[in-house]
Amino acid sequence: MLIDLRSDTLTLPTPGMKEAMFAAPIGDDVFGEDPTVNALEEKIAKLFGMEAAIFCPSGTMTNQIAIRLHTRIQTEVICHKYSHIYLYEGGGIMANSLASVKLLDGNLGKITAAQIDESINPDDVHAPETTLVSLENTMNKGGGSIYTLDEIKPIHSLCQQKGIKLHLDGARFFNALVETGESPADWGAHFDTISICLSKGLGCPIGSVLLGSKADIKQARKVRKVFGGGMRQAGFLAAAGIYALDHHIARLKEDHARARMLGEMLSKSPFVSEILPVATNIVIARLENTSPEEFMKKLADQNIKSVKFGKDLVRFVTHLDFGDDHLEEFGKRIQNI
């Protein structure tokens, strides 16, 4: 049995999800005529108490559209130095929006209002104008760490006071919400735009959604078109999204419980010096007396897949297709290493 913990993007649609996909009424979404895409966009916007939403092929696209909306040439984005928008989107801040970026450091990938306040550029001819702050929740490189709404409120007030937009990269946002018990609508009230991935823990094959005001989402449709993300009968994919919102949110807690147990199992390995705090479905192990390459080879010999996540780090992500039987098997195989 293969145990694939490289990412929560590897999941395959469940039978129920497939059924929903094939049963979906469809139309041409570039004409705004796909009833299932429209239903998904309305459903998720309502859930977050936001005016509108747009369905896109990827989370990179929803983030990059948001950055385009909230910046201009010669302006600047503030984010953590380990942000997905900076590290893993191919330099898109520059390539798509001709904007600059200010990278902040912070514990487990999180930044504070005080740090942001110090990093907003003065109104000065030498400096790019700060127009956007982007946060990530959960924070991938922070080991799936969580921002609580109490940490967001002062950041939101600061941005409002300074006239700066606030974006949330919520690729794994529901993983945070099932832990904190906070409501999506409370979060919706604190951000200009929110990006949600349907293709991660929620288990869809493809798709992300960008939420925002009517005006921003109208503009987002133009940006999506020029990015090549206008899809036609996309209702098949949107149906998977609707199904996931109805059936795959509460179960994320199971992924988190398995991640905590996986972390405990890994911590007993003689090659693991530390497990970063396991807040959600991501487990990051710090290695000793071996390299990520060597350790991953030993795991691969046991038919376990993982990814390198830094010079002495390896990442494991639990997901819909990793059940109790896989966890038990993992526990046995890790003892052979």
Ligand X SMILES: *Cc1c(COP(=O)(O)O)cnc(C)c1O
CB nearer to ligand X: give 158 or 210: 210
CA distance 317 to 313: 13
Q: Is 295 helix (H, G, I), strand (E, B) or coil?
A: helix
β-strand partners of 211? 53, 194
Tokens linked to 197: 């991935």
Say how many Å lie between the first and final Cα of the chain, rounded: 17
Query: Minimal CB distance to ligand X: which residue?
Result: 59
CB nearer to ligand X: give 173 or 334: 173
User: Under the criterion CB under 6 A, does residue 169 sit at the interface with ligand X?
Assistant: yes
What's the CA angle centered on 107, arms 101 and 112, to 5 degrees?
A: 60
CB nearer to ligand X: give 58 or 71: 58
CB nearer to ligand X: give 169 or 216: 169
User: CA of 100: how far to CAs of 132, 156, 174, in Å?
Assistant: 11, 21, 30
Nearest distance in Å: CB 336, ligand X: 31
Pick one of 66, 93, 104, 197: the residue that binds ligand X (CB under 6 A): 197
User: Under the criterion CB under 6 A, does residue 58 sit at the interface with ligand X?
Assistant: yes
Nearest distance in Å: CB 102, ligand X: 19
β-strand partners of 209? 55, 196
Give the contact letters, 11-50, x = binds to ligand X (CB under 6 A), - = no.
----------------------------------------
CA distance 238 to 223: 20
Residue numbers 70-89 binding ligand X by CB under 6 A: 84
Tokens linked to 191: 């951000």
Amino acid at 245: L
β-strand partners of 15? none
CB nearer to ligand X: give 130 or 280: 280
Would you call 140 exposed, middle or buried from its count of C-beta atoms within 10 A (0-12, 13-18, 19+)?
buried
Question: Alpha helix locations (H) across 91-147?
Answer: 92-97, 113-119
Q: What is the DSSP string of 22-41?
A: HT-----GGGT--HHHHHHH
Stretch that binds ligand X, among 32-40, 192-200, 311-319, 327-335 (CB under 6 A): 192-200
Stretch that binds ligand X, among 46-54, 193-201, 238-246, 261-269 (CB under 6 A): 193-201
Pick one of 17, 93, 146, 171: the residue that binds ligand X (CB under 6 A): 171
User: Under the criterion CB under 6 A, does residue 8 sit at the interface with ligand X?
Assistant: no
CB nearer to ligand X: give 83 or 131: 83
User: Under the criterion CB under 6 A, does residue 136 sit at the interface with ligand X?
Assistant: yes
Nearest distance in Å: CB 195, ligand X: 7
Give the contact letters, 237-276, x = binds to ligand X (CB under 6 A), - = no.
----------------------------------------
β-strand partners of 76? 100, 130
Query: CA Rg, the chain, in Å?
Result: 20
Closest CA to 280 of 245, 323, 316: 316
User: Under the criterion CB under 6 A, does residue 59 sit at the interface with ligand X?
Assistant: yes
Residues binding ligand X: what is the number (CB under 6 A)? 13
CA distance 171 to 164: 22
User: Under the criterion CB under 6 A, does residue 60 sit at the interface with ligand X?
Assistant: yes
Pick one of 36, 130, 193, 208: the residue that binds ligand X (CB under 6 A): 208
Residues forming the site for ligand X (CB under 6 A): 58-60, 63, 84, 136, 140, 169, 171, 197, 199-200, 208
